[in-house]
Chains A and B, each alone.
Chain A
Amino acid sequence: MSEEGLDRRTFLKTAAAIGTTMAAASTVSAETAKKPSSGLPGERIIGRPGSDFMVDVIKATGIEYIASNPASSFRSLHESIVNYGGNRKPEFLTCMHEESSVAMAHGYAKAAGKPMGVLAHGSVGLQHAAMAVYNAWCDRVPVMLFAGNFMDAAHRRPGVEWYHCVQDPAGILRDYIKWDDQPASLQHFAESVMRAYKFATTPPMEPVVIIADGMLQEHPVDGDAELSIPKLTLSAPPQGESGALKEAAKMMASAENLVIIADRAARSQEGVRRMVELAEALNAPVVDLGSRMNFPTTHYLCRSEDGRALVREADVVLMLEVADPWGQLNTISDPQHEYRRIAKPDVKLIHVTLADNLMKSNYQDAQRFCPCDLSISGDAEATLPALTEAVKKEIGGSRKSALAGRTDKLRSQHREMKERTRAAAANGWNAVPVTTARLSAELWNAIKGDKWCLADSRNLGWSARLWPATEHYNFLGHSGAAGVGQIAPAAVGAALANRDKGILTAVIQPDGDLMYAPGVLWTAAHHKIPILMLMHNNRAYHQEVMHLQKMAGLHNRRMDTARIGTTIENPHIDYALLARAQGVWAEGPITDPAAIAPALQRAVAVVKRGEPALVDVVTQGR
């Protein structure tokens, strides 16, 4: 944010005057030091501003990074982070857009398992940040947002500062944050930050906002000894009620065609292990919808690509934190909007979810209401051990043998699913532009020798379908609300979290997404965040090309105009040049499929020395 109010000529005159004053001041400094203070504003020193205490509070939460585009409403807090806090835990990350700040925090939280802080103007900063906050909300990801604001109008500087102040800063976000507060004192700030952190990190996890009042930041701490920072104790996640779990176990143990559908079930590797334990106890196929890495793709019970067929035959479906349960059993055709049932009419549905604990009405992320036979309010990962135990108690000797007898068939079906996927990926292997399947396969071959993380595993589904993934850190899911512009910054945030874990972070980066706020490339270069960015450069907002075609078909009109307003060509954007301009190593555009592997090899070497790299590949649409 830049400030207005001084034109260039006035600025130069003022700077010259300050220079003169400073020179004069140095000659008299020894003299003035002996005299009592004259009360001149320039002699006033605030040795312990409120923002120092705010830094103490933020440090007490364990927040390691604060992503921010610098701004005057939190200038004191910024200075305290850098000088008083030593710019370490939290470290200030320079971002070029508030949307990038929040999306970085979004990706970071999924990879680190804890929130990042974000600092923004309470007015224009949160306006910029809004869509990224909504993505994090829909993806159930905690973000600690701090917003600067001068509430006391009597202290505001005239002009821009008034534009940048607001009565209710969090109001613009309140439909899609879990909680917010505007503390009126430093003690209030300390307690509200702790409360906010607890709320944000208790499932269902969500973003929260705390306002850091400008005068509270800039005024001296009054009575430091009376201030205290409350102890932070995180809440254990809620587990489903034991009677309901017993009933669920009975329904599942007696099912003939049980399907388990997981979406945001696992929060950790332990969650993945628990998923495997439950699935094996029931010998039931698992459909991983992929908002998190829930289940190993290599396991014979992983049947994510056969979801529709499995649901069609199911008599019982167990859903674990599924964002859109109705959409798993039903669908609406496109573009005719005709209803189609997928599941049997009498299928029994069990859902373990915390969705009923989120009560907001304006934005429609709740998805269509889905009737349920057994609804269990609880965190899926926390509930899994008790649910598995209940299942094991229900499954007696003969039933256990019957379930075990299905194993060969299930193994064979898993193998066939994988073979079908590979055959589909081979189709058009040498095509130009490069197929998306080949793009994914080439990336896998470049990173397969390392511990790897794919920062967005939904945008291009080939990776989730093809790659052998067993670790929770392998796939980080998607943006949440499909708000475009999230993938690049979220990937950089994830790469930051993975940097110290020795995990190589890659992202298949859509061109349209990158162009929302490409300045995140500079942030990655500046902070030496090692990320491998492989461009999925289809030179279009390709989803919209297809939408235009559907509408033209529906209206019986020409289709050859579908690229008007939907493509990113004429001129083509040179993404390698865009990256290099911001200090990022880059190659491309690549059109020859055979040239991808060597370029990726060079890029991986750059990433391994701790820097970001971008490889631009011109691809098919989808």
Chain B
Amino acid sequence: MRFFILLLFPAVVFGQDAPAGSPERGHQAFLKYQCYSCHGTVGQGGERGAGPRLLPNLFPWVAFSMQTRTPRQDMPAYRKDHLGDQDLADIYAYLRSVKPSPAVANIPQLNFEGRR
């Protein structure tokens, strides 16, 4: 339900800035709290029951925070008792700092057309 509210009132979501965070600390927290085990070390996502990719279209902060604290579907909940607000803000800052991946067109190994 909350997800639909977010979709209905995008201004509420996108208008709200994320709290300040440190990408460096966020990287460490991303690893320490095992976010990477499902989503990959650069948020690229995993497969076979692992988590979806977080990038390049990172959730807005409110949606990101909500999904982390009280997740929809199969993601484990990271509640404040075990992942502080500042850690979460740092993780968000880290994800925003990840450099974009190259485009498919620039990766020859992903050109499967016309191959046996």
A451 to chain B, nearest CB (A): 8
Contact B34 A431 (CB under 8 A): no
Whether a CB of chain A sits under 8 angstroms from the CB of B78 is yes
Residue pairs across A and B with Cβ atoms less than 8 A apart, 11 shown, are A427-B56, A428-B55, A430-B102, A431-B44, A441-B109, A441-B110, A467-B112, A552-B76, A559-B78, A562-B37, A622-B40
Stretch of A137-145, A203-211, A442-450, A486-494 contacting B (4+ beta carbons < 8 Å): A442-450
The answer for the CA separation of A431 and B46 in the assembled complex, in Å, is: 13
Binding site for A on B (CB under 8 A): 32-34, 36-38, 40-50, 53, 55-56, 73-79, 81-83, 101-104, 107-110, 112, 115-116
Closest chain A residue, CB of each to CB of B77: A553
Contact A546 B49 (CB under 8 A): yes
Q: Which residues of B are found within 8 Å of A448, using beta-carbon distances?
A: 115-116
Given A427-B45, A430-B101, A621-B36, A559:B110 Cβ within 8 A: no
Whether a CB of chain B sits under 8 angstroms from the CB of A159 is no
Given A426-B104, A427-B45, A431-B41, A546:B112 Cβ within 8 A: no
Closest 10 pairs between A and B when the two form their complex, measured CB to CB: A553-B76, A428-B44, A622-B46, A622-B50, A427-B44, A441-B109, A428-B42, A553-B77, A558-B82, A431-B42
Binding site for B on A (CB under 8 A): 333-335, 418-419, 422-433, 435-438, 441-442, 444-445, 448-449, 459-462, 466-468, 470, 542-543, 545-546, 549-550, 552-554, 556-560, 562-563, 597, 620-622
Contact B74 A334 (CB under 8 A): yes
B29 to chain A, nearest CB (A): 9
Contact A426 B103 (CB under 8 A): yes
B112 to chain A, nearest CB (A): 5
Contact A427 B109 (CB under 8 A): no
A261 to chain B, nearest CB (A): 18
Contact A424 B45 (CB under 8 A): yes
Contact A426 B48 (CB under 8 A): no
Contact A435 B34 (CB under 8 A): no
The answer for the CA separation of A327 and B44 in the assembled complex, in Å, is: 27
Contact A550 B79 (CB under 8 A): no
The answer for the CA separation of A429 and B75 in the assembled complex, in Å, is: 24
A450 to chain B, nearest CB (A): 9
Contact B110 A422 (CB under 8 A): yes
Contact A546 B33 (CB under 8 A): no
B68 to chain A, nearest CB (A): 10
Contact B73 A333 (CB under 8 A): yes
The answer for the CA separation of A192 and B103 in the assembled complex, in Å, is: 61
Q: Which residues of B are found within 8 Å of A562, using beta-carbon distances?
A: 34, 37
The answer for the CA separation of A542 and B44 in the assembled complex, in Å, is: 17
The answer for the CA separation of A442 and B40 in the assembled complex, in Å, is: 19
Contact B50 A621 (CB under 8 A): yes
Contact A550 B47 (CB under 8 A): no
Contact A621 B110 (CB under 8 A): no
Given A426-B102, A552-B76, A557:B110 Cβ within 8 A: no
The answer for the CA separation of A322 and B83 in the assembled complex, in Å, is: 42
A13 to chain B, nearest CB (A): 59
The answer for the CA separation of A423 and B42 in the assembled complex, in Å, is: 15
Q: Which residues of A are found within 8 Å of B77, using beta-carbon distances?
A: 553-554, 556
Contact B112 A444 (CB under 8 A): yes
Which of B37, B78, B116 is close to A553, meaning CB atoms less than 8 Å apart? Answer: B78
A165 to chain B, nearest CB (A): 43
Q: Which residues of A are found within 8 Å of B107, using beta-carbon distances?
A: 426, 429, 441
The answer for the CA separation of A418 and B115 in the assembled complex, in Å, is: 14
Contact B112 A550 (CB under 8 A): no
Which of B33, B40, B82, B112 is close to A466, meaning CB atoms less than 8 Å apart? Answer: B112
Which of A429, A433, A442 is close to B41, meaning CB atoms less than 8 Å apart? Answer: A433
Contact B34 A563 (CB under 8 A): yes
Contact B110 A425 (CB under 8 A): yes
Given A431-B42, A559-B76, A549:B112 Cβ within 8 A: no
A478 to chain B, nearest CB (A): 11
Contact A620 B47 (CB under 8 A): no
Contact B37 A542 (CB under 8 A): yes
The answer for the CA separation of A543 and B37 in the assembled complex, in Å, is: 9
The answer for the CA separation of A466 and B56 in the assembled complex, in Å, is: 20
Which of A334, A444, A545 is close to B34, meaning CB atoms less than 8 Å apart? Answer: A545
The answer for the CA separation of A304 and B76 in the assembled complex, in Å, is: 27
Contact B102 A429 (CB under 8 A): yes
Q: Which residues of B are found within 8 Å of A418, using beta-carbon distances?
A: 112
- Given A427-B42, A556-B81, A621-B40, list of 14 further CB < 8 A pairs? A335-B76, A426-B104, A426-B107, A426-B110, A431-B40, A444-B109, A462-B47, A468-B112, A543-B49, A545-B34, A550-B76, A559-B76, A622-B38, A622-B40
A296 to chain B, nearest CB (A): 11
Closest chain A residue, CB of each to CB of B81: A556
A183 to chain B, nearest CB (A): 44
A472 to chain B, nearest CB (A): 14
A540 to chain B, nearest CB (A): 8
A594 to chain B, nearest CB (A): 11
A538 to chain B, nearest CB (A): 9
Which of B47, B76, B101 is close to A554, meaning CB atoms less than 8 Å apart? Answer: B76
Closest chain A residue, CB of each to CB of B76: A553
B108 to chain A, nearest CB (A): 8
Q: Which residues of B are found within 8 Å of A333, using beta-carbon distances?
A: 73-74
Contact A429 B101 (CB under 8 A): yes
Given A428-B101, A549-B34, A553-B77, A461:B40 Cβ within 8 A: no
